[in-house]
Amino acid sequence: MVPLTTDKPFMIIGVGVHTIDYRTSGFPPTLEEGANLSITAPMRASPGGIGNGIPVAAKLFPGKVGAATLLAHDPNGEAFFNRMVAAGVDVGGIKWNTDLPDKPYEVVGASGDVIQVNRCELSTGMSFICLDPRSGFDPLIFFSPGTNQVISRENLDLNYLSRAKAVIISYSTLLRDLDRNHGEPMAALIRDLKARDVDLTALDTHSIKGADYSALDLPLREVDIFGCNTGEAKSITWWRGDTYMPTLLKSLSEKMDIRGDRSRLLVVSMKGEGCAVAYFRPGVDEPVTVHAPACKVKVVDGTGAGDSLKVGIVAYVVENLGLFKAGKLDVMEAVRFGNATAASYISGVGTENVGSFQQTLEFMRSQYPERVGSETLGQPPGVVRSDTQFRPPVDRNR
């Protein structure tokens, strides 16, 4: 590993949609005509959104991870704040709705329409998640981003964010102010972070019905790492055919306006099938494209798998920042590390099975005992092949 060249107190700061999740498992009842919908089931609460991943990052980098978001002084807000503190996350970037100007704010209603609410009505974001007990995946989700929807350049502490080596922004298309005008405010925020010497910016999006993915048009040209799942990738690129990953990666890279002037990473997660990545290097026309299958673990709770996978990949890149910028990152190991991070997360409750960076490396090597890398292929450093030679995997989003 190449040591980091910047001296910053935080490895990663997560900004954007942070919610409190209420999770249960069971078969949702069918609503009979004229009846109310009632569900009786055990329930547990945990952080959601990128809040799933920030405690994971805090386990990888103890004492070097922060959170920046908006919360309300309500039970959900207090619960989220206390969970972050308990996980060892620095909460200096968290603000409360009482810090906002007292005026109406735009949020998205249940039917996708835009409505205005007063500051006092801005509750902490929350999700109700009912998991399919047969798989731990394919949940029914009721999602309310709450105060997160009004995060803006003005109510973020940019001085706080500039103390990080990497800033992860989540979820574009749900941040009303930053998503305007094809995402120009988001793109400006990313440019500002770079001007403040943040080494790495990462962005992801959300699979919400009716999402306007044009909000990604301008941010995708600025960001260093972009992550999404196959369903989101198809919506972003207007792809209507079968999922052939090389074609999908190429379409997304065109949206990112890759010019070969700097290193960039495109990450596409595939439910239960692992992750595909395209690594673009300065001065090289063609990207390194790899796919690593998911680790084999017993799934306790699959919610947050994508968030923790992307955080794991960002963590690996941050730890190998010099190699990444030089175009020499071991991208296969980065993908496998992300898969191992996600597997650790979903095999336990919360972050109980997530270890330190070194422990996750060791777990990764136990899951992928064979070493597939440049030394066995006679290729330049950082050039690796796919575990599956990119044969199209089963697309579970279809």
The domain limits of the chain are: 7-27+43-224, 228-398
Could you give the count of Cα atoms lying within 13 Å of 4 in the half-sphere of its Cβ?
18
Domain 7-27+43-224 and domain 228-398 have a common topology: yes
Average pLDDT estimate for 100-127: 86
Report the percent of the chain where pLDDT is more than 90: 56
Could you give the count of Cα atoms lying within 13 Å of 164 in the half-sphere of its Cβ?
32
Tokens standing for 398?
């279809």
Residue 177, pLDDT above cutoff 50:
yes
CATH class of the 228-398 domain in this structure: alpha beta
Give the angle subtended at the CA of 340 by the CAs of 209 and 346, to the nearest 5°.
55
356 against 127, higher pLDDT: 356
Q: Quick one: pLDDT at residue 106?
A: 86
Q: Where does the pLDDT of residue 136 fall: very low under 50, low under 70, confident under 90, or very high at 90 and above?
A: low
CATH superfamily of 7-27+43-224: Ribokinase (3.40.1190.20)
* Cis-peptide, bond into residue 171, ω within 30° of zero: yes
pLDDT one-digit tens code per residue, 70-83: 999 999 999 999 99
Average pLDDT estimate for 289-312: 88
Q: Quick one: pLDDT at residue 246?
A: 87
Q: What is the bridge-based pairing of β-strands 114-117 and 126-131?
A: unpaired
Average pLDDT estimate for 76-98: 94
User: Which of 53-67, 298-312, 365-379 is predicted least confidently?
Assistant: 365-379
Question: Considering the chain, what is the average pLDDT of its residues?
Answer: 84
How far apart are alpha carbons 40 and 28 in whole angstroms?
A: 10
Q: Quick one: pLDDT at residue 216?
A: 95
Average pLDDT estimate for 174-183: 92
Tokens standing for 305?
């798998």
The answer to whether residues 66 and 164 touch, using CB atoms and an 8 Å cutoff, is yes
